[in-house]
Every structure is written in C-alpha cells, then in structure tokens.
Amino acid sequence: NNPIKIGIVGYGNLGKGVELAIRQNKDMELVAIFTRRDPKEIDTTAKAVHIDKITDYRNIVDVMIICGGSSTDLPQQVPYIAQWFNTVDSFDTHAKIPEFFSTVNKVAKEHHTLSLISTGWDPGLFSMLRVLGESILPQGETYTFWGKGLSQGHSDAIRRIEGVKAGVQYTIPIETALERVRQGENPVLTTAEKHERVCYVVAQEGSDKSVIENSIKTMPNYFADYNTTVHFISEEELKANHSAMPHGGKVFRSGLTGEQTKQNIEFGLTLESNPEFTASVLVAFSRAVYKQAKQGHTGAVTVFDIPLGALSPKSAEELRANLL
C-alpha cells in the first residue's frame, strides 16, 4: 500500500505540529512544506518549497493541510489551492464559516476536489460532540467551557497597554459552574459566569503597577465583565513558566429522558500544546479526506459530513471486530 502523500502549507505553530503528527502515522508521508517565505529560512529537515511552485506537485500530493492563520491567510489560500488539491484547514472565524464554506465549495465542485473546512478541536471535535449530545438528548442544554488555556487575543490586548513589557492571559473555567452543570441543574450562565481570567504581566521599569492592573481589569469586552486576576512577574519567570501553549475545555450535554431521568454527557480535553493537538486532528482528518475523495466526493465538507471510520487507518472490517 502506498502511503498517503501530504503537503503542508504554511509553517507556523500548526504547520510544525502537522510535521510531527505525520511521523506518528505510518500510512502517511510528508512530501513538502510550502511557504511564502524564502524556503531556506524554514528550519526543518523536510523539503521546503516556495508556494509559487505548488502546482508542480499537482499529481504528487494527495492532500494539502493548510496551516495559515484564520483571519487573512485561509480565506485567500484555501480557495486558491482547492483548484488543484484536496485540502484540510482549521478556519475558526465563527461568523464567517458559512461564507467561507460557500466560496470553497464552488471552487472545489468546479475542479472536482474535496475540501474539509474548519476542523481541529473547536471548531472540530467539540462541534461533533455538541451535535451528538443534542441529537441523543433533544430535551436538554449544551455547555462549552474553554480552558485552562492561553488566549492569544487576550494576551495581545494586555501587551498593548502602556507600561507593559510582556504578558499572557489564561482563560480558566469556574469550578462551581462546572459542578452545577454536572449536577444537571441546567443553569443559565453567561460566559463571564463560566470563566475567569488570570494574567501574568511583566511591567516596564518605572511603570505604575496599580495603573496597569486597573487598565487591564476595566478593559471593555476583554476583561471588564470577568473576574480577572493580575500577577506581576519577572521576564525570566514568564519565559520559564509561560512559554507553552496549553489549552483544552469541556463540552456538556445535560438533559432529561422520560419524565425526570437526568442524563449527562461530558467530553473534555486537557492539552499541553494546542497547536500540536490541533495538528494531530488535521492529520487524522486528512486520511478521511483522501479516502472520501477516492470514492468520488467533491466540494466543501465539514466534520459533520465525514464518517468516523474514515479517520482510522484500520479497515471497516477491523473496526467492526472491535465495536465492543
């Protein structure tokens, strides 16, 4: 059996994670990494190629895993690359997913390629679990909690405050809220009632820490509505303890069957590295895209359209033998 030939587009956190994940999947092979930068600048032992040469690989690569950023890279790269390749991406700009789907679908249908959009863990695995829960327990409530995790957007917001040299922000689920959901209370909770925010900040020399703390805690949209804690630490401490990209979260479906019978579904992720985990999800789904494309599927699809068994390197027969 020939290995599935994968290309990586964009070599950031996610691209590096995909490179690592491919090594753990014996039925896959990394053909090349495609980048907009000078390929010589790419620190890898794999083959690095300028993205302008991507069409040279049209009969070589089976699936392109596109690892650009959601805000500007993916809306441009995915429809372009889908002209020649099956693709997988992690587009996560929630409000723009329908529009993104329709653009990619048009290109992929026209060129007889298959594109799986918006996979990863959220959107991705969490989206699947929400649908599963809502389908099985139609009478109930769905809850998503994020964290403990590093939030890029909130960390950027802290760093823009005057007097701040560096900083990170963790989103942390509130334990009492989790417990109320587990008990089947079906509480009405705002995002702020579900999560708290903890910041680690390196202040510039001579800056007033109380002013910084106040600017963070009163920042509208980002912190003002939340219980926010600010810790001031040294630059060395920030580097030593806050350089990783942990994340995770929980999806609950809490409902009733019959008259009063409480049923609760809980799915959780605890991730030491958000990009490495997300990359592992993209790689498993690229196997499914390869199989589905071989069966003649074209256009854009989401995780809801992919049969679970297609993610596995095992045959349907092997999977059936292990149903229980």
The binding site for ligand NDP (CB under 6 A) comprises 10-15, 35-37, 67-70, 73, 90, 92, 120-124, 274-275, 278
Strand 195-203 and strand 164-173: the pairing is antiparallel
The residue (of 16 and 253) whose beta carbon lies closer to ligand NDP is: 16
In the complex, what is the shortest distance from the CB of residue 259 to ligand NDP, in angstroms, rounded to a whole number? 38
**216 burial class (0-12, 13-18, 19+ CB within 10 angstroms)?**
buried
In the complex with ligand NDP, the residue whose CB is nearer, 54 or 164, is: 54
Give the strand pairing for 63-66 and 86-89: parallel
Question: Closest distance between ligand NDP and the C-beta of residue 115, in Å?
Answer: 15
Q: Which is nearer to ligand NDP, 140 or 275 (by Cβ)?
A: 275
> Residue 29 CB, nearest distance to ligand NDP (Å)?
20
SS percent in the chain: helix, strand, coil, step 5: 40, 25, 35
Smaller CB distance to ligand NDP: residue 100 or 223? 100
Give least dist CB 147 to ligand NDP, A: 13
Q: Are 51 and 9 in contact (CB under 8 A)?
A: yes
In angstroms, give the least distance from the CB of 48 to ligand NDP. 9
Q: How far apart, in whole angstroms, are the C-alpha atoms of residue 105 and residue 301?
A: 8
Min dist. Cβ of residue 165 to ligand NDP (A): 21
Comparison of 41 and 259: residue with beta carbon closer to ligand NDP: 41
Which residues, other chains included, contact 152 with Cβ-Cβ below 8 Å and sequence gap of 6+? none
Residue 120 or residue 147: which is nearer to ligand NDP going by CB?
120
| Token duo for residue 168 | 């990170």
- Scanning the chain, the segments in alpha helix (DSSP H) are 13-23, 73-81, 97-111, 125-136, 152-159, 175-182, 191-194, 209-217, 235-241, 274-294, 316-321
